[in-house]
Amino acid sequence: MNKKGYLYILSNKHRTVYYTGVTSQLLKRVDDHRKGKGCKFTRKYNIRELMYYEEFPVMYEAIQAEKRVKKWKRTWKIELIKSINPKMVDQWDEVSTLGQPELNKDESSPAKQMRRCGIS
């Protein structure tokens, strides 16, 4: 059975550093980062705010998206974030109160639109 996966982008409060990750349990993983239990990089730069997340039907697709996004220029990542979060605010409160989020799974998702435009 294939688990769905989530691509996510975190930042620090000053929006100077970004971290792109993938998980099958978005709430748990982001909560770990917020509590300082994330990877060494996120702890070092105090990266705890959820800027962007996207659900994929299977983990493999989320991993492939993560690999692409990690290669992107910073400006492209910011564009992706702003496509669903124009004010660049922490999305944690919204996500944590909704439970595990259900997001765009079709071709209209921001990451898929950017790939179609050649930003990948």
pLDDT confidence of residue 120: 45
pLDDT confidence of residue 71: 98
Res 27 pLDDT > 60 = yes
**Are the C-beta atoms of 82 and 23 separated by less than 8 Å?**
no
**Which of the 8 DSSP states describes residue 13?**
T
Q: How confident is the model at residue 11 (pLDDT cuts 50, 70, 90)?
A: very high
pLDDT confidence of residue 51: 98
Rounded distance between C-alpha atoms, residue 21 and residue 55, angstroms = 12
pLDDT per residue as tens digits for the range 47-104? 999 999 999 999 999 999 999 999 999 999 999 999 999 999 999 999 988 765 544 3
pTM of the model: 0.82
* Domain 5-116 top-level CATH class: alpha beta
Rounded distance between C-alpha atoms, residue 57 and residue 62, angstroms = 8
